[in-house]
Chains A and B, each alone.
Chain A
């Protein structure tokens, strides 16, 4: 780690100002991605602005068919929230599959979504459920939020404040873990929403994506069998020592069927 200045503001306005004043500042939430990066000296911010002291970034509420989750909500809190478990059980289950208890007790939803790791779990739920990111500047729909490998629509000093998930008719998540890191090698989130069936795939490619062919097939018949014969292009998949493009493309099919099965209960 290199030396940096540490700030823990109480308001969003202060946070934005601190970041603006810093020569090369960065927000930190749970630190579960940022801290390992700093420890390996892969980043050297001048200032860290800690978001976890800002009250308005916390809290879970369910009303009017919307689950609203504050950005600094820990993965563990999502996994164990009775309200979320009732409204969108697949989302609570997904949170319970992230990392290990230590990671779930530190890492935050806002941090995970802002980071957009290609192997992270939350992006698939955000995209699959057609969630909306509320930020200090605007609202961003899931379909235009994740823009590429570790890239999002967020601007430099923009903070995700909360994420709103419309409650679906039903949804399911299935995760095929990378055996070593246990991040998603392939994770598929399927949901039957008010605007139709959505299938979001994480881990497999450089960025979470919607599988349109699967969505079309499942719109006709929401069953695992409906996905039979649907292929995914290996050329668009990641390729590393844990899984070739072919293997990942194959897994997308298997994992998607299991996600549908999970949604059907």
Chain B
């Protein structure tokens, strides 16, 4: 059993069904009598709907119903909500214009829902949608934050003047200004954090189903947090009682944040199913995914870093404009504020920090959390400017960082932007990473590359993130509409096997293995006897879901608590069986014993006795199960250092990632193989952002130019290097497992590391992501580097 417990690289239990094509996803589910929804979507970025004629379409074969926004409004269905209210500089709540599940008078981005056809087959529904006539009054759209904020820009919503969702700030403005006043050196940088499309392998899908006999509604949906979807649908959209709605998120093929949110499509399926008393199914195609899955990032930032003559950071100020898209998605408002500005201290002791963020509406797909959510954007700003500062000061970037790190003996460390870092060893991670990357040998490698006409560069990123969201009281005080605890239930069967019900949701993270390892380790049950159950509100009593690298730190901690309750009860049963006092019973790895004797009882016997209580304590309930909730005391703060090395072909502008080192501190590691996999995947996404990916809208028409994989460039295996991954374990001091979270780190660290390497190679900071061959070549031309390299 020892080779299956905590710390062991156990192979993922779930992989057999995934690799053999036996996963069971929402689109694999078909319900008796099921109908199909097809959405007619806006071809325009911005238009007034003058009229919609469905007469011809209704007569088409297979059409059961056609609904427009007016039908939805007639049923008094609420709009989609934003679950986090950000208050602006003046204390006013953000602007959250109505977000109808089907547009009523205006469409505000290409792909906005205009009507839905419910048909007996998808093909028939689609044919009918083409027969719907919509008369639009096409308006001039605005797609980027800079133009949207200009006076006289088209206004996306009448109730959001100047396209401003909020103008927010955080930190100590006066102290920061004072710091700049006494600075010996100020480094300035302008950055664009490119907009990304999440592209999970499985597109979104949903089935709404209604049983008139019981008045029960069931929703099958591709969600990272089925309980949250239930709460939103019941409490905000439909006004239904939660106990009459069941949300099932079966196998989900990746989410990266995009499946946290409540979308129009699943909401329409539920509404239509209740109206028609028939199951209604919708599955996104890839184009719809590009048009409607919430995008990520899209910031334009100016930042300034004040230093003394020795490069000690004195003050940091940041001005960011964040694109919200056409509507506020479920958690959109929190991403460029509380998940962003609170991380601007990085790993450093910068004493004064001030951030201003304007959130802006545009005629584009809504933007929300995407792997890292705010923290990659913060890391990108901090780590690009630190590297730029080192270059200006002609100082080794590693040394500048070291000089400013929060020292090991300073934890818990209060930053000037609210966070209390719980633990870390920042210099150790840096030293380890530099060694693994042969940092000292770089000059020679650069010289050798130059002989071949190649420009070689090296870049660092010392990132920090806040995971394990979150202490409910803290996020509540910041405007969150929910608590961010997690729940778990452990239930033994009489024959010794165990169900673990978790409110976390696995959509690629490997919970079925990691969580089982925890239970196996703690309760002494073989791994194969542990079944992790998740993703169904009828089976899992409560939950808040999976995002923000929270599942292990919060969900795993709830499981540990439940396990402790099992052990406590087991001790009482064991004491009875061994005729000892409960106080004399010891427990270790599945075995109860009487201290100082050789008497012992294994967990399996305790479980059997609990359900066959023939010889049992008189005052004890039968059964062996326990529920627990866990609300974290603090965020966790994973941190680490990544080193990227690139070689650029100066003739073509092609960047090859020549070397990659990641040294991460995730606290205690439960399954090093799964953790390394998460690091690999995260870096792949980060490299994707830095080199390849980027959503592009036509600035005039607002058309999405990257609406397929022909134009939106996803990383492929041969774009990526082999990673050298190292680990440092500084346990988290405030959760029972000592864990911090690892799901987003790679995506957070990689863009800055890679861009620092590219800007090192090119000798200029003036290049934006993605550093495509064309962009790099343009810089090479402007710098005349090709000639220099030849």
Contact = CB atoms under 8 A, between A and B. Distances in A.
B774 A244 contact: yes
A177 to B, nearest CB: 10
Given A179-B713, A181-B711, A243 B652 contact: no
A53 to B, nearest CB: 27
Interface string B719-761: 0000000000000000000000000000000000000000000
Interface string A238-265: 0001111001001100100000000000
B652 A179 contact: no
Interface in B754-790: 772-774, 777-778
B652 A180 contact: no
Given A176-B652, A179-B692, A254-B651, A243 B710 contact: no
A242 B777 contact: no
A37 B209 CA distance: 34
Contacts of B653: 247
B696 interface: yes
Contacts of A250: 777
9 contacts: A3-B123, A179-B692, A179-B772, A241-B705, A242-B772, A247-B653, A247-B774, A254-B651, A254-B652
A40 B777 CA distance: 34
A181 B705 contact: no
Nearest to B712: A180
Nearest to B649: A254
B706 interface: yes
A180 B706 CA distance: 10
B652 A251 contact: yes
Contacts of A241: 696, 705-706, 711
Which of B127, B711, B778: most chain A Cβ within 10 A?
B711
Contacts of A176: 652
Interface string A26-42: 00000000000000110
B687 to A, nearest CB: 12
B750 to A, nearest CB: 17
B774 A243 contact: yes
A77 to B, nearest CB: 23
Interface of A: 1-3, 40-41, 176, 179-181, 241-244, 247, 250-251, 254
B709 interface: yes
Contacts of B709: 180-181
B282 to A, nearest CB: 18
A247 B713 contact: no
A180 B778 contact: no
A180 B774 contact: no
A10 to B, nearest CB: 30
A243 B774 CA distance: 6
A176 B774 CA distance: 12
Nearest to A247: B774
B652 A181 contact: no
A247 B692 contact: no
A179 B773 contact: yes
Nearest to A39: B285
Given A180-B692, A181-B711, 4 more contacts: A1-B123, A180-B713, A242-B774, A250-B777
A2 B773 CA distance: 39
Interface string B526-567: 000000000000000000000000000000000000000000
B703 to A, nearest CB: 12
Which of A179, A251, A254: most chain B Cβ within 10 A?
A179
Nearest to A255: B652
Contact of B711 (A180, A243, A244): A180
User: Which 3 pairs across A and B sit closest by C-beta, in order of nearness?
Assistant: A180-B713, A181-B710, A254-B651
Contacts of B126: 41
Contacts of B713: 179-180
Which of B127, B652, B774: most chain A Cβ within 10 A?
B774
A232 to B, nearest CB: 15
Contacts of B705: 241
Interface in B99-142: 123, 126-127
Contacts of B123: 1, 3
A180 B651 CA distance: 20
Contact of B778 (A2, A247, A251): A247
A74 to B, nearest CB: 22
A244 B127 CA distance: 38
Contacts of A242: 711, 772, 774
B562 to A, nearest CB: 46
Which of A2, A181, A247: most chain B Cβ within 10 A?
A247
B180 to A, nearest CB: 39
A218 B772 CA distance: 31
Contacts of B778: 247
Contacts of B651: 254
A41 B38 CA distance: 14
Contacts of A40: 287
A243 B653 CA distance: 11
A3 B778 CA distance: 47
Contacts of B710: 180-181
Nearest to B772: A179
A108 to B, nearest CB: 20
Interface string B652-670: 1100000000000000000
Interface in B21-47: none
Contacts of A3: 123
A227 to B, nearest CB: 12
A247 B777 contact: yes
Interface in B235-261: none
A243 B773 CA distance: 9
Interface in B421-467: none
Nearest to A257: B651
A67 to B, nearest CB: 29
Contacts of A243: 773-774
A254 B651 CA distance: 7
A183 B532 CA distance: 44
A1 B121 CA distance: 13
Nearest to A251: B652
A90 to B, nearest CB: 20
B769 to A, nearest CB: 13
Contacts of A179: 692, 713, 772-773
A179 B778 CA distance: 16
A243 B654 CA distance: 13
A40 B286 CA distance: 11
Contacts of B777: 247, 250
Contacts of A244: 774
Nearest to B705: A241
A242 B770 CA distance: 11
A191 to B, nearest CB: 23
A2 B122 CA distance: 12
A243 B706 CA distance: 14
Contacts of A180: 692, 706, 709-714
Nearest to B694: A241
A239 to B, nearest CB: 11
Contacts of B774: 242-244, 247
B708 to A, nearest CB: 9
A212 B696 CA distance: 36
Contacts of B711: 180-181, 241-242
A247 B705 CA distance: 19
A153 B462 CA distance: 60
Interface string B13-25: 0000000000000
B21 to A, nearest CB: 16
B270 to A, nearest CB: 28
A1 B130 CA distance: 13
A250 B127 CA distance: 46
A2 B774 CA distance: 39
Nearest to B775: A247
Contacts of A254: 651-652
Interface in B274-288: 287
Interface string B686-708: 00000010001000000001100
Nearest to B653: A247
Nearest to B710: A181
